[in-house]
Structure 1
Amino acid sequence: MKLTEYGYVSPQEYRIDRDLDAWMKGRKKLQAIVYTQPGCMKCRQTVRQLSKAMHTKAVTATADDIKALKAGGVQSMPAVYIFQGSKPIDYWSDLRPEKIRQYTEGNQND
């Protein structure tokens, strides 16, 4: 039995609790989804820089994705969506060094 802040628990309950805590902390971390196009240097640079600070998923945009992005106001690639957990907190398109710095300075990915 292990003593926790809420009482004694079995080793199995302790592992479950520890894993749940780690999972919940992970859900609060910043994540990025970056829609890219093949051969796009600005896209590669954006993904590379954001990957230093957070989990970043690069998605090669399909024709349908591009239609939807244009309908949403995107005029150039990449299209970047930043999330904290599952909540969207920021969005931009094109290479935006000042926006990238906003999320990368002092937030190195572990």
Structure 2
Amino acid sequence: MENEIEVVVYTKPNCMQCKSTTRWLDKNNIPYRTEDAGRAVDQLKEQGFSSVPVVMVNRGGDQIKAWSGYRPDQLKSVPPLFKPSDNDAVLTEWNWTRGVPRFRIWKDNQGRVHNSDGAAFQQFYGNGKLYQEQYVSHGTLLTERVFYEDGNWREESYAYHRDGALKEVRRTKNGVLDGGRCVERYDNRGKAIYIESWSEGKMIYSGAPPVRKNRPPAPVRPRPIPQPGLGI
């Protein structure tokens, strides 16, 4: 059946969080089967998971989202499946990160927020754009932002100074550098100190150019020659 949901929970022995997750699935009448994470450790690592439980929904061409390390109170519900009858009105875009489909996003004019132990991401649709934002530290710092606009995937990544002030923003279009990349760097007071952009194969920048890795070493000052009878 096209509406069937296959849920696979990868677990390990003595994992209390795994047991809590399966209890939650039982309580909500969501059918599932368990797999030993130890036997699939290489596969899970390739997909970016380092902790259990890992909950896969329709792992295959129809995989929607895989959760890693979710607490039962944060695992709200299984997202709706896409059906072959879905059209552009409901949408249906894959976002690929390093060649791996990390998540599937849909348009329904409602934001969806998912929280895990160390990270959170939210999906929402507004102003004609489809957004995905990735946070760390329970949503206090924005690290990645992905949105779909005018037929292009646009991605932004953020870095911060130790005090939390914005340090760097990198933007790409469809994952390519040429024709869609922009780098902005800021000091700890929020002042832009360097902006780099690419257009038609040419780089344009303002502010201080990037520091060269092969710059000449700093000159070495000669040390004074010790004189007899004098302290060094």
Q: TM-score, normalised by structure 2?
A: 0.29
User: Deviation at 1:92?
Assistant: 1.0
Gaps of 5+ in 1: 1-23, 104-110
Identity %: 30
Whether the 8 Å contact between 2:9 and 2:35 is mirrored in structure 1 is yes
Distance in structure 2 (CA, Å) of the matches to 1:99 and 1:45 = 12
* 1:95 maps to 2:70: yes
Gaps of 5+ in 2: 79-232
Q: TM-score, normalised by structure 1?
A: 0.57
Distance in structure 2 (CA, Å) of the matches to 1:70 and 1:77 = 11
**Map of 1:77-88 to 2, 5 A cutoff?**
77-83=52-58, 87-88=62-63
- Which structure is higher in helix share? 1
Distance in structure 2 (CA, Å) of the matches to 1:101 and 1:59 = 22
Whether the 8 Å contact between 1:33 and 1:58 is mirrored in structure 2 is yes
Q: Which residue does 1:53 correspond to in 2? A: 29
Letter aligned with residue 66 of structure 1: V
Question: Could you give the per-residue CA deviations for residues 3-57 of structure 1, whole angstroms, max 9, x where no partner exists?
Answer: xxxxxxxxxxxxxxxxxxxxx3xx4133310100011011111112123332111
- Larger RCO (CA within 8 A; separation ≥ 6): 1
RMSD of aligned C-alpha atoms? 2.5
Q: Which residue does 2:38 correspond to in 1? A: 62
Residues matched between the structures, number: 77
- Which structure is higher in strand share? 2
